[in-house]
Structure 1
Amino acid sequence: MDELFALHWNGQPFILFSPPHLIALMCVVLACLWILGPGRRLSPTAGRIWRYTLAGILAINEIAYNVWFWVHGLWSIQYMLPLHLCMLFTWLSVIMLLTRSYRIFEFAYFMGIGGAIQALLTPDIGVYGFPHFRAFQSFISHGGIVLAALSMITLEGYRPTWRSVGLVIVGANLYMVAVGVVNWLLGSNYLFLAHKPYTPSLLDLLGPWPFYIIWMEVLGIITILILYLPFAIIDLRQRSPIIASKR
C-alpha cells in the first residue's frame, strides 16, 4: 500500500493515451453524461447531496495532494500555491457547489472546464501511472472541475451568456498579468508563463517562449467560443420562430 503513495514509483509509468489513460478518460466522460442526462432528474434534496458530496471529494482530494507534496518535502510556494488554473478552480468549484455562486460558475464553466480538459488529455503527473495516488488524484481533481460546472447547469439551471464570454476573456487576461507578476517575484512558473511544462502537453505544438503564450491566448478565446456554442445554438433556435413570423 505504501508504494501507491511513494515518491519513487517503480510501477507502470504513465503513458499518454495508453489503455489506463483512456479508461480514466472514459470514466470522466460517463460521469459527465450521467449528470447531463439522468442527473437532471435528481430531486432538490438529492441534488444538494450531490453538490455537497462533490465539493467534499474535491476538497479532500486537493488537501491530500498538498499533504503528499509536504510529506515528501516537495511543497513550496513556487509550485503549490493555488494559482495554476486547475488548482485555483478546484477550490473555486468547492465554493461554487456549496454556495451556488453564479459569478464563480461563469468563470468555472469557461476557464475551469477549458483548463481541466487539457489537463485530462495531457496530465502533468510525470511517471506516476495507475494505480499510484498521483494518477488518481489528477483525474479526480480535473474530472471533478468539469463535473462541478456541469452540475450547476443541470441542477441549478445556470447558463453562461455573451456577457459571461466578455467577462471571462477580460478577467482571464487580468489574472494572467497578476500571475506573471507573482512569477517574477517568486521565480515560479504558474500558468506556465515562464516556460513549458516538462511533461508532454499541447504547449509543445505552439512554438518557443514567448510565442506560445500568444497562442495560448488565441486558443483560450477559441475554447471559450466553442464552450459557448451550445448555448448560442439554443438562443438561435429560440429566436428563429420570431424571425420567421416577421418574414
Structure 2
Amino acid sequence: MNDFFMFETELPAGSGFPLFGVCHILWLSAIILTGILLVRWYCKQSEKMCHRIRAVIGILLPVMAIYRDGILVITGHWGIGFLPLHLCSMAMWIAPLYIFTNKRFLGVIYVLLCLPGAVGALLFPDWNMYPVWNYMHIHAFLSHGLLVIFGCMLIISGEMIPTWREFYIPIVFGAIGFTIIHRVNLMFRTNYWFLNEPSADSPLIWIQHITGSKWYQLGYFMFCVGIVAVWMCLIRVMDKWRKSCNFLARHTHV
C-alpha cells in the first residue's frame, strides 16, 4: 500500500514490470478479452442504448484524466510534462468531443490516429517503472484499454469507418501537431509525442537508429503515415468482414 501513491522517482529500483513479462501479458489479455465482450455487447444494443454507452465513455475518459492529474497535484508531482499534449492524453478529450458534438473529422482522427497510438502505448508502455499496485500503473492500463475498446466499438459497429477521401485528415492533424508540439518541447524542455527522444524499448528506437538524430522526426512522421495507411487498409477489411458475418446482431452502418 505504501507504493500506491509513489511517483517514479520515489520507487525503489526494480519496482516495475518487464515488457511482455507476466504482468504485461496478463493486462493485455484482460483488455483483449474485455474488449471482445464489450464490443460484441455494444453491437447488439439499440441505437438509444448505444448513445447512452457513448455518453458514459465520454464522461468517464475526462474523469480518469482529471483523477490522475488530481493525485499528481495533491502529491506534489504534477509538472509541465503532464499537460494533455501526448497523443493518448489528447485522445481522452478528443473522444468526448466527438461523442458530444458528432463532428466526423474528430471521429476520423480518433479512429486513425488515437486508436493505433493507444495500441502502441499498451504494447510498449512507458509506465513500466511502476509496480502493479500503483495508481499510475492501474490508471495507464485502464485508460489506454478504454481508448482502444471505444475505438473498436466505433469500427466494428460501423459507426465510424473512414474513407480514403478522409485520409488527409489525420495526416494534416499530425503535421500540424508535429510542428506545434516541437515548439512546445523546445519552449518547456519536454518530450511530448516523443519528438525529442524515442520511448524506451519502442519501435521509435529503431527509427532513430535508421535515421539518426538529425532525421529522426522526419522518419518518425513517415512511420506514422505508414501506420495510418496500413491501419486504414485493415479497417476496410474489417468493414467487409462485419458486413458478411453474424458477429453483429444489431446495427451496421453503411
Deviation at 1:176, TM superposition (A): 0.6
- The residue number in structure 1 matching 2:146 is 144
8 Å Cα contact 2:16-2:130 kept in structure 1: yes
Give the % identical residues: 23
- The residue number in structure 1 matching 2:93 is 91
User: Within 5 A, what are the aligned runs for 1:154-173?
Assistant: 154-155=156-157, 157-173=159-175
Q: Which runs of 5+ in 1 are unaligned?
A: 238-247
Q: Which amino acid aligns with 1:93?
A: A
The secondary structure found in structure 2 opposite 1:111 is helix
8 Å Cα contact 2:161-2:239 kept in structure 1: no
Deviations 1:61-95 (A, max 9, x none): 11121122222322222x11211111111111122
8 Å Cα contact 2:5-2:134 kept in structure 1: yes
- The residue number in structure 2 matching 1:242 is none
Task: Give the distance between the partners of 1:54 and 1:235, measured in 2 at CA.
Answer: 23
- The residue number in structure 2 matching 1:14 is 17
8 Å Cα contact 1:89-1:145 kept in structure 2: yes
Q: TM-score, normalised by structure 2?
A: 0.82
Deviation at 1:155, TM superposition (A): 5.0
Q: Which runs of 5+ in 2 are unaligned?
A: 242-254
Task: Give the distance between the partners of 2:79 and 2:110, measured in 1 at CA.
Answer: 26
How many residue pairs get aligned? The number is 235
Task: Give the distance between the partners of 2:106 and 2:220, measured in 1 at CA.
Answer: 22
Greater mean deviation of Cα atoms: 9-18 or 100-109 = 9-18
Q: Are residues 236 and 100 of structure 1, via their aligned partners in 2, closer, same or farther at CA, if it must alter by over 3 Å?
A: closer
Q: Are residues 83 and 210 of structure 1, via their aligned partners in 2, closer, same or farther at CA, if it must alter by over 3 Å?
A: farther
Q: Are residues 97 and 26 of structure 1, via their aligned partners in 2, closer, same or farther at CA, if it must alter by over 3 Å?
A: farther
Task: Give the distance between the partners of 1:216 and 1:173, measured in 2 at CA.
Answer: 11
Q: Which amino acid aligns with 2:228?
A: I
User: Within 5 A, what are the aligned runs for 1:44-83?
Assistant: 44-77=47-80, 79-83=81-85
- The residue number in structure 1 matching 2:247 is none
Q: Which amino acid aligns with 1:107?
A: I
Deviation at 1:195, TM superposition (A): 2.1
Q: Alpha carbon RMSD of aligned pairs, Å? A: 2.4
1:178 aligns with 2:186: no
Deviation at 1:230, TM superposition (A): 3.3
Deviation at 1:126, TM superposition (A): 4.3
Q: TM-score, normalised by structure 1?
A: 0.84
Deviation at 1:138, TM superposition (A): 0.7
Q: Are residues 121 and 85 of structure 1, via their aligned partners in 2, closer, same or farther at CA, if it must alter by over 3 Å?
A: same
Task: Give the distance between the partners of 1:114 and 1:231, measured in 2 at CA.
Answer: 11
Task: Give the distance between the partners of 1:61 and 1:236, measured in 2 at CA.
Answer: 34
Task: Give the distance between the partners of 2:30 and 2:100, measured in 1 at CA.
Answer: 24
Task: Give the distance between the partners of 1:70 and 1:141, measured in 2 at CA.
Answer: 19
Deviation at 1:156, TM superposition (A): 6.5
The secondary structure found in structure 1 opposite 2:4 is helix
